[in-house]
Amino acid sequence: MAKVYDSIVIGGGILGCATAYEMAKLGSKVLLVDKGYIGSGSTGRCIGGIRQQFSTPATIRLAMESVSIFEQMEGIEWYPSGYLFLAQSEQEKIKYLEVMKIQQEMGLEVEFIEKKDVLSLVPMLNGDRVIGGTYCKRDGQANPFLVLKFYVDGIKKLGGKILTYSEAIKICNEGNFFTTTLRDINSHKTAEFKSSIVVNAGGPWLNEVNSLIKGNQQLPVISECHEALITEPTFPLFDPMLVSYSPSCYFQQLRGTGQIIGCYTPEQPIKGIDHNSTYNFASEFSSRVLKLIPGLADLRVLRSWTGWYEMTPDGNPIMGETNIKGYWVIGGASGHGFMFGPALGKCLAELICTGKACISVKDFLLTRNFEEKEKFS
């Protein structure tokens, strides 16, 4: 006989875990399922950066809410290391100053700092390349695996159930109930679970999960491959995540281990999910970093890997109820899912359980106009 839950959340990445945890807190009997292990999708491949320096009031507010949640979580290696967007030309400075006005109006503590202050934050930086930068000292970093652990422990404590290596392969909606069929990845046995709510938090597989339900609307999300790299540990060198647009790359030193970790956004998007890590990325990323910090030349690369950004047309996440009553979706965080996750999951849980989120989420609903693009992608 099918087991009954109030809600089934499909996908054990940051968005599914945060949603399931917040729903359990609001009294929902939750089942969270993942076809792999918790964190086996994008979340376990992200570099742990958390910033609030976005370009629209909605994304700034969402990120500020997330930071206030990260700050309260115990045991996640949260560290307010800051984010420093490097200005390397007058045009870049003008763009940063324009956006900074919006950020400051939203109450974000962000400032434009001159070259000498940039160099005092990052003494090894190649001074020829920068004229200043925007700096928010309350941006930071956390360990994605420990954040997921925080949620998993919390869901279990609140009476929720988690099934890993369990793939959702069919979802039928009849009347007020969904019947979700799960297949155990190891034994291939199937089992049915009933619920009045289904949340699709399938990350890069959002559309695959969506296709399990008949009569649903298309989701405006495509997956793109992104590579990342981590070095061996070294002495504490600098705190903030450095974001550079010329050359394009972003990297930080992990507070916990002293390793340098980072990425760059490919000039030509690499669509899909089947893409391995490449030597070209490792060598190109290293050469970009060395242009900014030549003194890292002797640091050895430990490993590199590939993950996915779930991209929407405007670069902002999607969340909310679909055209099918009781079927909700959360995803498309476009490379910012880890930092948005805690607030986005909380807001979705509130919408589902109480009908109202603690902050405005109208700009993230599926019904929005997707034309206004996030400037700091």
Ligand X SMILES: Cc1cc2nc3c(=O)[nH]c(=O)nc-3n(C[C@H](O)[C@H](O)[C@H](O)COP(=O)(O)OP(=O)(O)OC[C@H]3O[C@@H](n4cnc5c(N)ncnc54)[C@H](O)[C@@H]3O)c2cc1C
Q: How far is the CB of 174 from ligand X (least distance, A)?
A: 20
Q: What is the rounded CA–CA span in Å between residue 338 and residue 46? A: 7
Q: Do 85 and 97 contact (CB within 8 A), yes or no?
A: no
- 48 or 133: CB nearest ligand X: 48
What is the amino acid identity at position 170?
K
Q: How far is the CB of 97 from ligand X (least distance, A)?
A: 24
Q: What is the rounded CA–CA span in Å between residue 135 and residue 122? A: 12
For residue 205, CA distances in Å to 209, 223, 244, 274, 321 come to 6, 8, 30, 12, 18
- 308 or 376: CB nearest ligand X: 308
Q: What is the rounded CA–CA span in Å between residue 46 and residue 360? A: 26
- 10 or 132: CB nearest ligand X: 10
Q: Do 60 and 102 contact (CB within 8 A), yes or no?
A: yes
- 132 or 316: CB nearest ligand X: 316
Q: How far is the CB of 70 from ligand X (least distance, A)?
A: 11
Q: Do 200 and 327 contact (CB within 8 A), yes or no?
A: yes
Q: What is the rounded CA–CA span in Å between residue 158 and residue 139? A: 30
Q: How far is the CB of 116 from ligand X (least distance, A)?
A: 28
Q: How far is the CB of 114 from ligand X (least distance, A)?
A: 27
- 96 or 309: CB nearest ligand X: 309
Q: Which residues bind ligand X (CB under 6 A)?
A: 10-16, 33-36, 40-43, 45-49, 167-168, 201-205, 208-209, 226, 228, 263, 307-310, 331, 333, 335-339
Q: Which helix (H) or strand (E) holds 346?
A: helix 337-354
9 closest CA partner among 216, 160, 213, 147:
160
Q: How far is the CB of 52 from ligand X (least distance, A)?
A: 11
- 28 or 143: CB nearest ligand X: 143
